[in-house]
Structure 1
Amino acid sequence: TETNGNYSFQKLPPATYTVEASLAGLGNARAGAIVSVDKDTTLNLSLSPTVSETMTVTAATPSVDMKSTEVNFNYDAKTIERLPLPRTYQGLFALAPGVAENQSWAPTAGGTRQDNTFLLDGVNVTNPGFGYLSLGNTDTNELDIQDFNVKRAGFSAEFGRSSGMVVNAVTKSGTNRVEGAVRQEYQPGSWASSAKDASFNANTDRSRTAANIGGPIWRDHVFGYFSGRYEKTNTTGRTNFLGPVPDDKQTVKEIFGKLTATPTSSQFISASYRNIPLAEPFSGVGTFDLPEVANDFKNTNRVATVDYNWSATTNTLVEAKVLRLNENNHFVAHTDLGFKPTFNPKDLRHMGAVTIPDPNGSGVNVNAGAFYVRLSTQDYKRDEAKLAVSQFFDFGGMNHEVKAGVGYEFGEEDLLRKSNGWGIVYDIGGGQYEADYYPDQPTLKSQANTYSVYVQDSVTVNPRLNFNVGVLTNRDTFGQDIGRKITFLRFNFKDEIQPRIGVNYNLRANAGDKIYANVGRYINMDQKSSSRSMAPFGLVISSAIFDATTGALISDTLQSGATGNAFISPGLKPTYTNEYLVGYATPFGSRWSFDTFGIFRNWKNFIEDRPIPVPFGDFFFTNLPAAKQRYYGVTFDANRRLADRWSADVNYTWSRWYGNIDLDASGGAITDHGALYNTASAIEDGPGLMVEDPNRWGPYRLNHTHVLKAFTSFEVIPNLNLGGYFRYQSGSPWENRGRAFYYGGYRRYLEPAGSHHTPSWSNFDMSASYALPLRGRSRVSLEARVLNLFDQQTALTVDSVPYLDPRHRLSHDPWI
């Protein structure tokens, strides 16, 4: 320790530790400390003069982070493995208070599903283009996660500028002890209850095999950890609204390796590589799709990281991280129509993707013909490098923990599309058909890079008062590679200054509780889809007009992409969020902790493309002064850490997320999984789509006012564990929509936003597991889970279009 007794251990892996202090003539003291990822654990030991060498022992108890004003929730591997939920990266989202089940990428606290930051071992695995989890299609090996952390608000400068949440999972590492596991999970479709609507029955068999092993390579210095996973999902007996659908088979194969080394007592090095290929040969058939529109989908994720830590002095820590992430998505049409076949108006289903009345005579419009492209590749790359220095010192009678860092990030989207047949074919009336297709063209490379600089200081004024101050600034550059690199938009450091200030105060001396508050600004430019949506060049689309009787080509005109998309208005400013946080946290009893907090967030400077003048003028990217978005909510969480054979957590969040620029509903779909531009939606594109429309003001479609969660585990007898997990959330707001004038799609609000709600939803899962001890440290565990115990089959989507526009372009009988 220092002369005043202060001490600090940095970069400890998550675990429960024993800390012992001793000094001649003052005896010894020992206490347990629970260390979690991204959480500061304070442990004070007291020594006093003694006649004999005695030991004062204190057990590990729940502790409140007295230095951070971040809203943190941590879940360790022992707690996770006792609960009836997927133990993968994405599966653990469900644990975080206030995060509703939305069949999408976990929107939270007013951030859209694409405003979160996803970290794996502290490096960014967020999709660089659209902000979703790059590993979302494949997820991760459930045996890999050692500790899981979710930050809801109050982010310090080092954790960036998310307006949603920040998630960080720490993976396991090898140690001096050889340990490993093999896990086989099987979920037969015959064990699932039947769908209440017989039109949507299917039998899905799931099999998941995972294994890991870790241990020393050079004892005390070099360690290895390796894991693998093979997952297979077979769906048979599929039906949709139109009838039988061919079987679907999906396979996932994953390998992961991690080497850690301590070449000296002051240095730590970690390097890892993860490769996850997925194949789904018959995908993309939705509720109102004929099987011929299917595509064969392949997705591959690769993540490579290097992490270096150096304790330069007792009070100085240097950290460096490097990341390379690749996400490759390939779609191949299951029905190949070739490219631009001779146009036959009597056989539109072999000309391209068409919308027709149901051949079975239901009167519903269905998608037919083929997938609209023969081939689509959408590949992403993220390169990231970060360097940080932490310094601990006393100055002015106060203790300081200063951290400064710099970062660089490069993201790229490589996009190629080759039309199938004539692409998408419409009946435009007047005896004519229109076909929109992609001419042969090179790949489109959209690029963006970000430089970041931050400095922060955690100032301990006295044992009861702590301040956190920091500032982050970024420089974002958006460009394209069109054979030469061009830059079309840049926000400089002076445009993206983001201050943060927080305070913690120990309300009851020596009670370990605190009241805390934080104010911060976040620039919402992490999602880099603007590198395509705002680019001067896009994929070229051509529109061909044909005679509906003879099939003769009347015209073929380039429509977009070749000469520029839109103009960028001078003085454009980045979108930002102001956040205000206040809360109270305290331990109680010997095992429990309680945290309650309120969040208010307000968004400014939304960027959108809009025609000037409306609706037929040139498009300009501009800030929308009239666009408003706000969030406020309060959360209560009581947590009992795993001890004395049981654990529990009960939390409730009341919130309201509202405004007039609901990007998640801009396409008219409540549960749309697709990626969205955050600067170029249909909003403001014409009459019926303007944010000034009074009907647009109201709750957002992914808002759930009430979210309640309760989960627990209990060891009934030695080695026999029961787990339960209950969730409740109020319904999703929705309103009737109509077709917007001039612009396609049913996006015009026919009544105030949120005039209706889907039903509330609840779910209870439970599990039972028994660990049978074998020789030595070996065991065999058997586990059974029952998901959706009470067979709740709540309708979570609605048809919000009360009538169809007779002018809607449609391919129709008798040319089915």
Structure 2
Amino acid sequence: MKKNLSLRSALKRALQMGVSAAAVATMPLQISHAASNDGSLAGKITASDQKSLEGIEITVRNPETGFTRTVKAEPDGSYRFPFLPVGKYIVEGTRNGSTLGKLTEVTVGLGVATTADVTVNLSNVEEIFVVGTRVVRAVDVKSTESSTNLTREDLERLPVARDIQSVALLAPGLAKGDDGLCQGGNCGVSFGGSSIAENSIYINGLNVTDFYNRVGASSVPYAFYKEFEVKTGGYSVEFGRTTGGVINAVTRSGTNEFEYGTEVAWEPHSLQSSKKDRFDPDGTPRIIGSYDDYDRTSATFYASGPLIKDKLFFFALYEARDYQPNNTSDDGETFYKAKEDSGFWGAKIDWQINDKNLLELLAFSDKNEEVRDGYGFDFTDGTRGAYQETRFTDNGGLNWSATYTAYLTETFSAKALYGKNNREFSRFGQNDLECSRFRDQRGATPVDLGCSSTSAVTARDDEREAARLDFEWVLGDHQLRFGLDREVNTSEFEQHYPGPDRLLYELYVTDGPTNLFGTTLPGGTEYIRTRQNEVDGEFETVNSAYYLEDNWQITPSLLLNAGVRVEAFDNKNSDGDSYIKMDDMVAPRFGFSWDVRGDKRSKIFGNAGRYFLPVANVINIKQAGGFLDRRTYYYSGGTAIFDYNGEPNERPILGAQFAVDDSQGDGTVGDLRGEVDRDMDPVYQDELILGFQSMLDDKWSWGVRGIYRKLNNAIDDMQITSTGIICDGEPVSAGYVMANPGRPVTIYSDTDCDGVSDGWVTIDTSQHGWALRDARENYLGSDVGYTKPKRTYKALELMIDRAWDDLWSFNAVYTLSFAKGNAEGPINSDTDFGDTGRTEAFDDPWVNAGSYGYLPNDHRHQLKMRGAYALGEHWEVGGTLTAQSGRPINTTGDCNPYDGWCFFSFYIFNDSTGQYELRPRGSGGRTPWIFDLGANVTYRHSFSAADLKVTLAVYNLLNQQRTVEVYEALGSTGETRDKSYGLGTGYQSPRYGLLTVKLDF
């Protein structure tokens, strides 16, 4: 029978038996050299009677699965178990065949190492050792990284939305991305000033990050997760391909006990507050949201248990879903009624082949389909009009992985993973299948005449093939970790115009005599241009790396961590040829942890490291595909009227064909040497962290951490309008080139003015590359360069934490941060531009001219608090609070004072002076502070055969709907200013409630 004793009584009893426990400490460590989908256990046995420790063996045993593993302790009593599955373990000891009994119980967490140091009396080894009350310490004196670990049990006590992004946002220094960049409900997360497209997400060691745009990831239901780890800095060389952070999660597994259960989660319309309607100053509707609502229900069923006791286990889950959102267009003229009812399934198999070999299999499908009907609408009285069309959005896919772990010797272990991550995406309407788009271009503003206004129909299938090997080898005081990983990311992409013939029809009229491709048209001639614009192909990117790391315990109080990761990125065009290839990228990382007083209650730690970011697949597709752009010209025969969905529409009548032009793209891959820098350097970030942590008592701890991050380099599309070659008084232009802004760019171009590319040209874009022209496009005879990208993040974090003790817990983190520079990263929140790596930041030199300042992810002050309290045996309450200062507001214009080019810039034209004025970043002030308060109450009751849990959670309890994003384009001052400047474009979501009923058998 297990006995719960105070430490004093346990010591007294053990001494009476001849075996004593002088100290037992088990600590959930957050150490940078733990595995990505499991954990590890390390510790030291000390003999209180100074006897030799030779012959002592340590065994860990998971009582739920029967898994056991035994190692010999080193002569000094130290021991280590690598690659342990997450779970609870009993630690036992033997010496020369005689038992020392149970030494302690530990919980091995995800991605961390747990330490159990035990002192024993070896005078009598025939008696069973009884452990005292376990002391859990929050300070990990062997950790050099920064991370936040949360279990399912932790989260069940808190009002946290049921998705991995909301869990991650509990960590310090993280902020939600802008509404304008949300994809499929996922708005992304900014880690430490980085953009939302710089993170990596893992499930059971499988990378499930969206590699098309690097925003979002494959997902599983809340009930399938077991534990989460959010890495915010200083992480091991095992992880790469991120300059933001890592979200690491592991799913549930089966045990020797048959278990099953169900959970129903209901977000009813009745527990939602209404969105506020927003209007322009003149009363024009800007964002009509008062008719937006939804009902969401999910019913989860799971079962788990042994297929073969102590050997083979299963966990299976199915979630039935019903989501019915209603919303209007921003102008309130269209009402959308949607439905999603696709179910999720997931399964995990764990095979403990023997105590030296483990195999786990994971599979899940997150496929989903949304069907959305559109109707005419009058928001003034809520009247729904005629049916317009039905649109379909499909996403998600099948994901699986197999992980094999081998304990080859007591000091050498290996792990191998292979898997596939699939994400499909397509969006189209019934009108898109049946109707071609027809636009009237005869006036100043184009007008859609047909029954489709869709600009393009797109379908994409992204598949990641992932493989990795990880090894661990302990040599005395050195723990060596090394391995390699390789990902082949393939995107099958198709894009074309709507309609059965995939053509865009446009009606034009000539102002005067016009020559089109050899045919002269008199003034007033109407003609039709059809356009076939298509990209269709398979695009592949290969990312590979190998790493080596040494964790050296120099003294019992000082740990040094030194590692290096060598990366390679290879982006290929649709013909399978490399066109952006970067290798031999060396990422060194160093860390230390010093147990200041040698009592494992306080530490000073720090690390320095470099992190590289790969090029997203969207770049391959947008630039390196077989692009077809065929334009065919016909005389107009007028238009015909036809009825579609009860509404009259027009279609063109084609006359005789008189010209064809496919010079813009003939369906083949072009010569990309003129569009990509031959010697392009990668994007990378350097990071420095220094911190201190200490225990206040056995439950309370506090800490402080300083962080410095610097982004080095950028890869973006730059517009090169001057290569330095002058032909007939005009500079040779290269168009948009993927390159490193502010650095030398080498491209293949025309060097002898014959109109044909024939040689390499190098342009120092810090000085040259943009031809200056006047307002009439006349070349002014000189050029200018581009500003180098800059981004730094400086932060100070203060933390206090009280561990849960079956009564209450509390955690609070305050972050003071400064995110400054002239480039946010591969995503641009200033303009909500979401094509990763193709922002407007370097489309011309004036976008970044004078733009150095505080960046969109600069939230100066951030306070996050969470806690839970047990009100007796059955009731619990929990709460979360985020108080965050607003983001900077820019004031942007169209033109600049240096040439006639008009685009996006930080210069504003002053109507009264006739001069341009520089408005630096943040000159428009900041958005208001936001306060997000959540609360929940839980009732628990155990019956003879089941455990019941009922929770009511309310999010944004205060129903604050403050502005989080505004329109930043002023244009100019005076009467010509943009009247929408400063008006909100994004707001906090209204209050809503979630009722959850859970039964476990």
Bin of the TM-score, shorter chain as denominator length: 0.7 to 0.9
Q: Take 1:92 and 1:30, find their aligned partners in 2: how far apart are those partners? A: 34
User: Computing the radius of gyration over CA atoms, which structure comes out larger, 1 or 2?
Assistant: 2
Quick one: which of 224, 244, 248 aligns to 1:144? 224
User: Which stretch of structure 1 is more off in the superposition, 335-344 or 707-716?
Assistant: 335-344
Q: Which position in structure 1 is the counterpart of 2:862?
A: 707
Other structure's SS at 2:804 match: strand
What is the CA–CA distance in structure 1 between the aligned matches of 2:707 and 2:942, rounded to whole Å?
Answer: 47
Equivalence for 1:792: 960
Amino acid at match of 2:676: I
**Is the 2:606–2:691 contact (alpha carbons within 8 Å) kept by the matching residues of 1?**
yes
User: Contact 1:444–1:539 at 8 Å: present in 2 too?
Assistant: no
User: What does 1:394-473 correspond to in 2, within 5 Å?
Assistant: 394=476, 399-420=477-498, 423=504, 439=532, 441=534, 443-473=536-566
1:317 matched to 2:409? The reply is: no
CA distance in 2, matches of 1:731, 1:644: 37
Structure 1 residue 91: Cα displacement: 3.0
Question: Who is 1:767 aligned against?
Answer: 936
Given that residues 448 and 528 in structure 1 are in contact (C-alpha distance below 8 angstroms), is that contact kept between their aligned partners in structure 2?
yes
Distance 1:218 1:337, change over 3 A: closer
Report the Cα distance in structure 2 between the residues aligned to 1:531 and 1:665, rounded to whole angstroms: 16
Matched to 1:19, the amino acid is V
CA distance, structure 1, for counterparts of residue 134 and residue 947 of structure 2: 28
- Residue by residue over 1:443-478, the C-alpha shift from the partner in whole angstroms, topping out at 9 and shown as x without a partner, is 222211022110101110111000001100012111
What's the CA shift string for 1:15-58, capped at 9, x where partnerless?
Answer: 34443446589966733434211112222111135579464524
Deviation string, structure 1 residues 579-611 (Cα, Å, up to 9, x no partner) = 111111223311233332121111222122323
- Could you say what secondary structure the match of 2:80 adopts? coil
Deviations, residues 495-516 of structure 1 (Å, cap 9, x unaligned): x011111111111221432111
The match for 2:242 is: 162
Q: 1:109 and 1:437 mapped to 2: Cα distance? A: 48
- Partner residue of 2:884? 729
| Map of 2:613 onto structure 1 | 524
Larger mean Cα displacement after TM superposition, 299-308 or 15-24: 15-24
Q: CA deviation at 1:318?
A: 0.7
2:592 corresponds to which of 479, 487, 503: 503
Measure the CA separation in 2 of the matches of 1:287 and 1:623. 48
1:598 maps to which residue? 706
Helix, strand or coil at the partner of 1:262: strand
Partners of 2:883 and 2:330 in 1: how far apart?
28
Cα 1:324–1:806 change in 2 (3 A) is farther
1:85-107 deviations in Å (ceiling 9; x for gaps): 12432331221111113342101
Q: 1:621 aligns with which of 729, 735, 738?
A: 738
Per-residue deviation at 1:70? 1.2
Give the aligned residue type for 1:48: N
Aligned to 1:517, what secondary structure does the other structure show?
A: strand
Contact 1:285–1:293 at 8 Å: present in 2 too? yes
Unpaired stretches in structure 2, ≥5 consecutive residues: 1-72, 180-186, 279-287, 380-384, 512-523, 639-651, 723-730, 743-787, 909-918, 979-1001
Q: Which string of whole-angstrom CA distances, capped at 9 and with x for unpartnered residues, describes residues 224-277 of structure 1?
A: 000011222212364632334131222341000111001111111001110112
Q: Which residue identity does 1:621 align to in structure 2?
A: M
Which residue identity does 1:99 align to in structure 2? L
Match of 1:611 in 2: 719
What is the rounded CA distance, in whole Å, between the counterparts of 1:39 and 1:286 in structure 2? 55
Residue type of the partner of 1:47? V
Partner of 1:362: none
Q: Distance in 2 between matches of 1:128 and 1:525?
A: 9
Equivalent residues in 2 for 1:32-111 (5 A)?
32-50=105-123, 53=127, 55-102=130-177, 103=179, 104-111=187-194
User: Which residues in structure 2 correspond to 1:152-301 (within 5 Å)?
Assistant: 152-197=232-277, 199-201=288-290, 202-236=292-326, 238=328, 240-282=330-372, 295-301=391-397
> More relative contact order in 1 or in 2 (CA 8 Å, sep 6+)?
1
Q: SS of 1:702's equivalent?
A: coil
1:275-307 Cα shifts (integer Å, max 9, x gaps): 112111228999999996974211122210000
How many Å apart are 1:164 and its aligned residue?
0.4
Answer yes or no: is the 8 Å Cα contact 2:542–2:571 preserved in 1: yes
2:198·2:244 contact (CA, 8 Å) conserved in 1?
yes
- 8 A Cα contact 1:307 1:319, kept in partner: yes
Which residue identity lines up with residue 36 of structure 1 in the other structure?
Answer: G
Q: Which amino acid is the alignment partner of residue 417 of structure 1? A: Q
- Please, which moves more after superposition, 422-431 or 221-230? 422-431
798-807 vs 330-339, greater mean Cα deviation: 798-807
For 1:228, the aligned partner's letter is Y
Q: Are the counterparts in 1 of residues 459 and 493 from structure 2 also a CA contact under 8 Å?
A: yes
Could you tell me how far 1:345 is from its partner in structure 2?
A: 5.9
8 Å CA contact 1:387, 1:406 repeated in 2: yes
Aligned sequence identity (%):
22
What amino acid maps onto 1:464 in structure 2? S
1:424/1:645 CA distance change after superposition, 3 Å: farther
Question: Kindly tell me: are residues 288 and 803 of structure 1, through their superposed partners in 2, closer, same or farther at Cα, counting changes over 3 Å?
Answer: farther
Distance 2:540 2:527 in 1: 33
2:148, 2:171 within 8 Å by CA — same for their partners in 1?
yes
What is the aligned partner in structure 2 of residue 357 from structure 1?
A: none
Q: Which amino acid aligns with 2:244?
A: G
| Partners of 1:26 and 1:253 in 2: CA distance | 51
| Shift of residue 351, structure 1, vs aligned partner | 4.8
Residue type at the aligned position of 1:662: E
In structure 1, how many angstroms separate the alpha carbons of the residues matched to 2:529 and 2:895? 20
Q: Is 1:302 aligned with 2:398?
A: yes
Say whether residues 1:370 and 2:453 are aligned partners: yes
Q: What's the secondary structure of 1:90's corresponding residue?
A: helix
Partner of 1:383: 465
Partner amino acid, structure 1, of 2:581: R
C-alpha contact (below 8 Å) 1:32/1:60 kept by paired residues: no
Moved more, 239-248 or 26-35: 26-35
Deviation at 1:379, TM superposition (A): 1.4
Equivalent-residue separation in structure 2 for 1:667 and 1:212 (angstroms): 40
Instruction: Output the CA distance in 2 between the equivalents of 1:612 and 1:523.
Output: 26
Q: Distance in 2 between matches of 1:257 and 1:507?
A: 45
The DSSP-based 3-state class of the residue aligned with 1:8 is strand
Distance 1:547 1:257, change over 3 A: same
Q: Which amino acid aligns with 1:683?
A: A
| TM-superposed deviation, 1:336 | 2.8
Distance of aligned partners of 1:697 and 1:268 in 2 relative to their CA distance in 1, 3 Å threshold: same
Tell me the TM-score normalised to structure 2 length: 0.71
**2:782 corresponds to which residue?**
none
Residue 116 of structure 1: how far off its partner (Å) = 0.4
Letter in 2 for 1:411: N
SS in 1 for 2:81: coil
Q: Is the 8 A contact 1:32 1:58 kept in 2?
A: no
Partner amino acid for 1:759?
P
Q: 2-side partners of 1:322 and 1:764: how far apart?
A: 42
Q: How many residues align?
A: 772
Q: Structure 1 residues 207, 346: CA separation in 2 closer, same or farther (over 3 Å shift)?
A: farther
The 8 Å contact of residues 722 and 766 in structure 1, kept in 2 or not, is answered as yes
What do the CA deviations read for 1:557-586 (whole angstroms, capped 9, x no partner)?
A: 447555356522232211111111111122
Match of 1:366 in 2: none
